[in-house]
Structure 1
Amino acid sequence: MRGSYGQQRKGLRITGALLLTASLLAACSQGTEKSADSTSKTTQELAKPKEPLKLSMMNMYYSAEPPKADNEAVKIIEEHTGTKLDITWVPNSAYNDKINATIAAGELPQIMMIASNKGQGIINAARSGMFWEIGPYLKDYPNLSKLNPLVLSNIAVDGKVYGIFRSRPVAREGIILRKDWLNAVGMAEPKTIDEFYQVIKAFSTKDPDKNGKDDTFGMYEGRGMNGFQTILGWYGGPNLYGIQDNKVVPDFMTKEYVDALKMYKRLYDEKLINQDFAVVPGTKRQEAINQGKAGLIISTLDDVNAGFNDLAKANPNAVLDVVSRINGPKGERLMLFNGGYVGTYMFPKTSVKTEADLKQILGFMDKLADKKLQNLFEWGIEGKHYKVENGKPARTDGKAYETDVNSIYQIRFDDGSLVDAGEDAPIVRKYKQMFKDNASIAVANPAESFQSATLAEKGSEITKIIQDARIKFIMGTIDEAGWNQALEQWKKSGGDKVIEEYTAQYLKLKK
């Protein structure tokens, strides 16, 4: 019995061992299958394309209608940057109001294009910590690290950089004129202030369109007096503010400003400019050229490449040209245009929660300035907006480019330094070369980065004193004594305090 029992126990042990072995083998088999499945899934996950980074942005548009949701250029930007963009497009005329309303509501996109970045509300918001200070991060990105340091200092608040500026040529202004009218009156392009006046006079009085009627103005101007700062620069005046005896003073307190006023008054008195300039919008200036009413305007030179299609339709023989350098008492000078930028991209902390989020967005901004996208903004899409001739891009469909690319141009912030030189029209080559050449004669605003609490509080009120007096002087309602009285009123109404606040910052910076 004992032996039989022992054999039974041995048999049970063998059976148990076999069962255990089978169980282990089954477990191993299942584990292998699971491992294989897991490996397969991991491979599949790695093979999956990375999800695009979702970014929200607010920006403006100048076209008649906002860009379409399926805009092809935006799709290319998304593909290149690995993003999915949710862009709120706002018409430029309502943009600042929309920004203020959005900030007040607290529902901010991650990327905000701030047009009036020097408005006191935006400055206060930056000081309060609403926006990320990005200056210390810029060095870590190949394109952002190359941003112009002068312009960065221009956008700074208390020496800190809170945004990425949208770059513009530093010397962008000049004269757009009817070259065929110049030939008709037998004159060459002006090179001095007096020659500029003589061209305007000839365009007004010598029937340049040869229709036998006295129906043209030499120059057309709008209520913003777009050409005034350029002419002030020719006379040697400062760019909005200048330094006199270690004090920061506004341009309108200089002799050169009065010289420019006298030039405008002369043009007005002799009816060489439109007599309703004080009330018509600036957009009427291009319209006047298109309708053959005027021979020249002072504007950004690249405007010659857009906005004059109606002129070519009405008069196929019309020829436009550009002039940028006019010699004055202090030589050839041009005002540094808008501090070298137009608006800045800023990043609210309420929607960009962490430093890691900020770095991802800065990575997107950096890619936005890559060569491929610079060429996209400049030329559009190959085969649709341009073709390659002799190894260079050449525009083929300007109208389609306006609709597809120029409509979203406000996204762009780069300086165009990586753009492929193309088979441009001669007029485009001319003004692009002027932009490069004229950078050396650009006059900067020494108070560009300064802030004045008084100007923020009373700016519209005291600025109106000068604007009204300027119009009155040109129209002859007041004389030079009346102009000086307006200056005194400006000073007593807060202007002296503005000068004091700016001067304190200038002296501190100078140390």
Structure 2
Amino acid sequence: MTPNAASASAFSGPSRRSFLASTAVATAAVAGGMPLLAACGGSASGKREGATSGKAADKLIPAYVASKIAQPDIPSKNGSAAGYTSKIDLAALAASVPDKLGTGASLKIMSPLWGTPPKPDCAYYKALDAEAGTKITWQNQDGNTYGEKLGAVLASSSIPDMVVVPSWELVGKISSAVTAKFMDLGPYLAGDKVKKYPNLAAIPSDAWRMSIFGGALRGIPMPAAPVPNIVPFYRKDIFDTKGYTVPKSADEFLSWAKEATSAKAKVWACGDMRWSAAGFFGVQPAGPLGWNIGSDGKLTYRIEHPEYLEHLEWVRKLFAAGVVHPDDKANTGDPTQRFTSGQTLVGNSDMSGWYGMTTEQAQSNPDFEVDGMDYFGADGGTPTLYAGQPAGIWSMIRKGASKETVENALAAANFAAAPYGTKERMFVDYGVEGTHYTVKDGVPVKNDRGVQEVNNAWVLLAAPAPYLAHPDFPEIARKQVEWQQRQGAFVKKTSTYGMNIVEPTRYATLSSQFEQLEIDFVRGNKKLSDVQQAISTWKSSGGDKLRDWYKQLLDKNGSGN
């Protein structure tokens, strides 16, 4: 029951953090979860650095009890989300929370919000409180500057009862504050205790393992499918019209790009393809997931592998050949607009762009059709792709909260984690029929009030197992899930998969220069020797010591793969 909302900017600029922030609202609304490019964390203290995994983690996490409500039309496969493509009888929705678990006690929640915050007493908030048995005062903060507010609040003595913490904000003192300021939820959720909250029990175990901070279960997760979340989108309608064949190797892509580009006609083959190129060339993710023990038994980081340089050199060729839109080279304008207007034919985007761009263009450009290019190996063989982390946003409860406050917070999270095909999911995603949406041909459609009020607050408290459903465009859900399943067949896990790793503070900025260096190199503003020197400097200024730290961590906890 994905809310009817087009992505404002499906394609993003080159910044990893800005990408996460810009797509957070769109991907939270799509129950497939958040883009999971895990951020490096700071240090809580010597004993708080590291991770908890393996048997130690198994003792801390909730028992898993799968939901049996509304079985998917397309079951999960190869790590994909589940897919729902048939219409749901909205008049006969099941209840996943038949008895209200909330007592109506007051609860203050701080959460990021992208867009205009609803009024505190709006009909949406009132309706959700009535249904869940809660009484929430929302302290919504601008998602684009959330880290600043989060850091200030955690440094103070006044912390809301519940706080939403995104992975990309887990840097510096915020990371250490998580273990110091939020409570251990194990006494309420570990093992069979979670069965009081059936929707939380249905969250996959891997997501719960990612919710262990400082040796205790402190987070309630939004789970996500570990398959790739970045899609190399292409304009299928234009490809079909022109008779283009979708490329299946790096050389084929460059050859096609030269053919398709016509500066005179104001058409360029693509934008900056670094994100997709990482998949084409088999580059490991950034952050803790970038560490992996190879078949030779050696622990290495992503930038030490030859494919790291190879993928950058290939993207540089695209820029040098003039097949990249000039505005992409200059990092100006809106990449999504260039794609939807036909100025570029291929681009990178978070998966939510599939639905967002389709809905945005449905009325004004009915011939518009976007599709996802399958990842290929750079040489034309099978690709090597890497799993993203199974959770990247958590809601946490402050230490010292009363038992009633904790139970009401968990009641709210349990309501927010309701699976597709339930009354609770409809309330969270659409609000109240007649007030926030109407039903047309069996499909719920938000009105203006629904768009304004049914915003991204409740959805960040928790989420069900990853799924994709678009009642107004069911074929998009089918394409998304099938794309994930095809890519999932080639996904590997790195040695740090499923671990919520807190790196020592002294290494927090060790890799920070590489993103800008990559941006400059592919545009021809830096030389290959500059990148090679940066890698050498990374090793000597802490990379080799960080490798030793990771080796000890993996020796203690075991490998995630």
Indicate the TM-score class for this superposition, using the shorter chain for normalisation. Answer: 0.7 to 0.9
> Which residue of structure 2 lines up, in the alignment, with residue 98 of structure 1?
149
* Partner amino acid, structure 2, of 1:57: I
* Partner amino acid, structure 2, of 1:176: F
> Which residue of structure 2 lines up, in the alignment, with residue 220 of structure 1?
271
> Alpha carbon RMSD of aligned pairs, Å?
3.2
Q: How does 1:276-355 map to 2 (within 5 A)?
A: 277=328, 280=331, 284-306=334-356, 316-328=365-377, 331-337=382-388, 339-350=389-400, 352=401, 354-355=402-403
* DSSP 3-state at the match of 2:395: strand
Of 415-424 and 320-329, more deviation after overlay is shown by 415-424
> Does 1:125 find its partner at 2:177?
yes
CA 1:326–1:396: 2 relative to 1, 3 Å: same
Cα separation, 2, equivalents of 1:348 and 1:495: 35
Mapped contact 1:61–1:410 kept (Cα < 8 A): no
Mapped contact 1:395–1:424 kept (Cα < 8 A): no
Q: CA deviation at 1:488?
A: 0.6
Cα separation, 2, equivalents of 1:53 and 1:423: 37
1:230-279 CA deviation, whole Å, 9 max, x = no partner? 42123222233122344442212111211211221011111222345466
Cα separation, 2, equivalents of 1:193 and 1:385: 46
> Which residue of structure 2 lines up, in the alignment, with residue 39 of structure 1?
none
Identity of aligned residues (%): 19
> Which residue of structure 1 lines up, in the alignment, with residue 16 of structure 2?
none
> Does 1:274 find its partner at 2:325?
yes
Mapped contact 2:232–2:276 kept (Cα < 8 A): no
Cα separation, 1, equivalents of 2:330 and 2:299: 31
* Partner amino acid, structure 1, of 2:513: I
CA 1:86–1:199: 2 relative to 1, 3 Å: farther
* Partner amino acid, structure 2, of 1:165: P
**TM-score, L = length of structure 2:** 0.69
CA 1:417–1:503: 2 relative to 1, 3 Å: closer
Cα separation, 2, equivalents of 1:418 and 1:465: 36
> Does 1:231 find its partner at 2:272?
no
Aligned mate of 1:52, from 88, 104, 112: 104
Q: How does 1:107-126 map to 2 (within 5 A)?
A: 107-116=158-167, 118-126=170-178
Cα separation, 2, equivalents of 1:92 and 1:423: 28
Aligned mate of 2:454, from 387, 405, 425: 405
Cα separation, 1, equivalents of 2:490 and 2:408: 38
Q: How does 1:147-162 map to 2 (within 5 A)?
A: 147-162=203-218
Mapped contact 2:312–2:518 kept (Cα < 8 A): yes
* DSSP 3-state at the match of 2:348: strand
Structure 2 unmatched ranges of 5 or more: 1-101
The count of residues paired between Structure 1 and Structure 2 equals 438
Cα separation, 2, equivalents of 1:74 and 1:490: 49
Of 476-485 and 146-155, more deviation after overlay is shown by 476-485
> Does 1:73 find its partner at 2:124?
yes
* Partner amino acid, structure 1, of 2:176: N
Mapped contact 1:238–1:251 kept (Cα < 8 A): yes
Cα separation, 2, equivalents of 1:408 and 1:203: 43
Q: CA deviation at 1:150?
A: 1.8
**TM-score, L = length of structure 1:** 0.75
Return the structure number with greater relative CO, CA threshold 8 A, min gap 6. Answer: 2
Mapped contact 1:228–1:260 kept (Cα < 8 A): yes
Mapped contact 2:281–2:307 kept (Cα < 8 A): yes
Mapped contact 1:451–1:502 kept (Cα < 8 A): no
* DSSP 3-state at the match of 2:399: coil
Q: CA deviation at 1:436?
A: 5.5
Cα separation, 1, equivalents of 2:431 and 2:267: 38
1:475-510 CA deviation, whole Å, 9 max, x = no partner? 334444432221111112222222221121012122
Aligned mate of 1:178, from 235, 247, 252: 235
Q: CA deviation at 1:147?
A: 2.1
Cα separation, 2, equivalents of 1:367 and 1:198: 51
Larger of the two Rg values belongs to structure: 1
1:423-445 CA deviation, whole Å, 9 max, x = no partner? 53422432244345655544444
* DSSP 3-state at the match of 1:166: strand
